[in-house]
């Protein structure tokens, strides 16, 4: 650990992809006094080199794979593990064995056995492990947790929680993208809803007792493919003018981003949306003069960024319409959404009864007009209604006795680097504090808490596939054997 006026934590990064580069990497660049990366492992050359350049990492500390980096002696205090879902277990166990404290991306592991192995390794080594359940660290969800803990709702009775995945996020990540197939990723109830199940477990504050779940892939399958639709949208699809999911609409016209801006309460954002949508030539001219307008015209951030993953260097910094069009001819993101190799569900419901008799239902679906979570909590004294979406955040408390309603939290749309409603950076802050303070207490989202919330995901999937109610105590015991 480097010493200074404030202690700067040293770290290694495994996987310089979206999370590694743009969340943890960006945090270290913004707060160099708090975090410094000393080594990186990343097989994609352009990402590895970019990360090394940004963080001034010498060539002998740049590695092609996590195995190579973890063959070295311990190089820093902590390891940030940001590889894909199925590459969490081995690097985490190895890093803990070497003596790193670890911040691991969610899900902790794609299998229950993997989660248990990690928990045991944490106990055996006594190292600190944090899981990136970032939503617990947002002002929105911590306000809800506080409200419950202060007793303002009375005794909890029921929570109705929705994970409304937007139509564009569903198509991008769970039909065309990285989390589309259970064999290469994990079930959607783990990949997407481990956050929600973790929040529900945390808010209720008791162990789950029974769980049941239903769901399927209702829309994104070949039965719904338009007649004569080619494999790639840009190969002359007969319905390209009317298809919601036509790839150039999403990645070149950036309709998802425009829709987010259009829903904002801020006039400025709505103005930008109109400029991008209806005055593209004018915007193209202005973009030469104004950096913000250049960003809007030649959009490179999500959902565009993953399109460029692993491309040859010459196209890597070119975000023109022509280059994007060329990429979409062969990219997985250019495929017809009805002709992909996806098998994860596009809608699922989960019912849970907890040991304290609180009931919860979670609905997840991929057809929302906007991205976000909505929830309603009914207690014996009050009702809480919350919206946490990409158009803004708001929590309203309705008190039964006084008959009053009060907005206890609200925040408008913001487009900054600390994603997940501020949760990304708050999670890193909290994780670093546990290490720098040498408190050696496990963080809020630690291995044991995560195991319990991940058990819910695995049990929900078991219930959905087998069509039966799962008794959690039995499920828990079986998993631990």
Ligand X SMILES: NC(=O)c1ccc[n+]([C@@H]2O[C@H](COP(=O)([O-])OP(=O)(O)OC[C@H]3O[C@@H](n4cnc5c(N)ncnc54)[C@H](O)[C@@H]3O)[C@@H](O)[C@H]2O)c1
Binding site for ligand X (CB under 6 A): 14-20, 41-44, 47, 65-66, 82-85, 87, 105-106, 132, 134, 178, 420
Strands 129-131 and 101-104, by their bridges, are parallel
Backbone φ and ψ for 398, nearest 5 degrees, come out as -110, 110
Compute the least distance from the CB of residue 410 to ligand X, in Å.
23
Compute the least distance from the CB of residue 67 to ligand X, in Å.
7
Smaller CB separation from ligand X, 66 or 246: 66
Smaller CB separation from ligand X, 42 or 387: 42
Sort 20 into a burial class: Cβ within 10 Å, 0-12 / 13-18 / 19+.
buried
Compute the least distance from the CB of residue 300 to ligand X, in Å.
14
Compute the least distance from the CB of residue 291 to ligand X, in Å.
25
Smaller CB separation from ligand X, 8 or 164: 164
Smaller CB separation from ligand X, 65 or 442: 65
Compute the least distance from the CB of residue 209 to ligand X, in Å.
27
Structure token digits, residue 267: 């006039």
Smaller CB separation from ligand X, 109 or 156: 109
Residue nearest to ligand X according to CB distances in the complex: 17
Smaller CB separation from ligand X, 269 or 458: 458
Compute the least distance from the CB of residue 456 to ligand X, in Å.
17
Nearest alpha-carbon partner for 308 in 339, 331, 275: 331
Cis peptide before 107, with omega less than 30 degrees from 0?
yes
Smaller CB separation from ligand X, 113 or 471: 113
Separation between Cα atoms, residue 177 and residue 18, nearest integer Å: 13
Smaller CB separation from ligand X, 41 or 293: 41
Compute the least distance from the CB of residue 41 to ligand X, in Å.
4
Structure token digits, residue 423: 């949760």
Compute the least distance from the CB of residue 353 to ligand X, in Å.
27
């Amino acid at each position: 650990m480097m010493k200074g006026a404030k202690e700067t934590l040293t770290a290694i990064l495994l996987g310089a992809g979206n999370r590694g580069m743009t969340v943890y990497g960006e945090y270290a660049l913004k707060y160099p006094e708090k975090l410094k990366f000393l080594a990186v492992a990343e097989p994609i050359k352009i990402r590895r080199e970019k990360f090394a350049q940004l963080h001034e990492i010498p060539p002998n500390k740049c590695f092609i794979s996590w195995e190579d980096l973890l063959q070295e002696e311990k190089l820093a205090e902590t390891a940030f593990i940001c590889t894909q879902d199925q590459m969490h277990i081995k690097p985490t166990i190895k890093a803990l064995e070497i003596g790193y404290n670890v911040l691991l991306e969610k899900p902790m592991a794609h299998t229950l056995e993997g989660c248990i192995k990690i928990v045991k390794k944490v106990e055996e080594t006594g190292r600190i492990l944090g899981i990136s359940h970032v939503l617990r660290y947002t002002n929105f969800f911590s306000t809800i947790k506080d409200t419950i803990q202060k007793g303002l709702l009375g005794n909890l009775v029921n929570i109705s929680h929705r994970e409304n995945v937007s139509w564009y996020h569903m198509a991008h990540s769970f039909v065309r993208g990285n989390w589309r197939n259970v064999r290469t990723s994990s079930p959607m109830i783990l990949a997407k809803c481990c956050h929600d199940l973790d929040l529900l477990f945390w808010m209720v504050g008791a162990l789950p007792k029974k769980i049941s779940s239903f769901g399927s892939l209702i829309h994104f399958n070949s039965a719904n493919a338009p007649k004569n639709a080619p494999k790639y949208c840009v190969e002359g699809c007969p319905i390209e003018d009317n298809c919601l999911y036509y790839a150039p609409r999403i990645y070149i016209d950036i309709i998802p981003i425009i829709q987010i801006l259009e829903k904002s309460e801020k006039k400025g954002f709505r103005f930008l949306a109109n400029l991008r949508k209806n005055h593209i030539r004018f915007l193209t001219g202005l973009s030469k003069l104004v950096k913000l307008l250049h960003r809007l015209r030649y959009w490179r951030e999500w959902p565009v960024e993953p399109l460029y993953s692993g491309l040859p260097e010459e196209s890597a910094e070119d975000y023109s319409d022509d280059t994007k069009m060329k990429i979409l001819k062969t990219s997985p993101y250019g495929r017809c959404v009805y002709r992909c190799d996806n098998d994860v569900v596009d809608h699922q419901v989960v019912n849970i009864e907890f040991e304290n008799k609180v009931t919860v239902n979670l609905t997840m679906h991929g057809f929302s007009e906007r991205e976000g979570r909505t929830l309603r909590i009914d207690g014996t004294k009050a009702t809480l209604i919350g919206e946490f979406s990409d158009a803004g955040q708001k929590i309203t408390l309705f008190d039964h006795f006084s008959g009053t309603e009060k907005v206890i939290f609200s925040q408008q749309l913001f487009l900054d680097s600390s994603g997940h409603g501020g949760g990304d950076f708050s999670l890193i802050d909290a994780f670093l504090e546990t290490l720098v303070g040498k408190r050696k207490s496990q963080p809020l989202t630690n291995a044991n808490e995560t195991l319990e919330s991940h058990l819910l995901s695995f049990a929900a999937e078991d219930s959905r596939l087998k069509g039966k109610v799962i008794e959690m105590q039995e499920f828990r015991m079986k998993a631990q054997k």
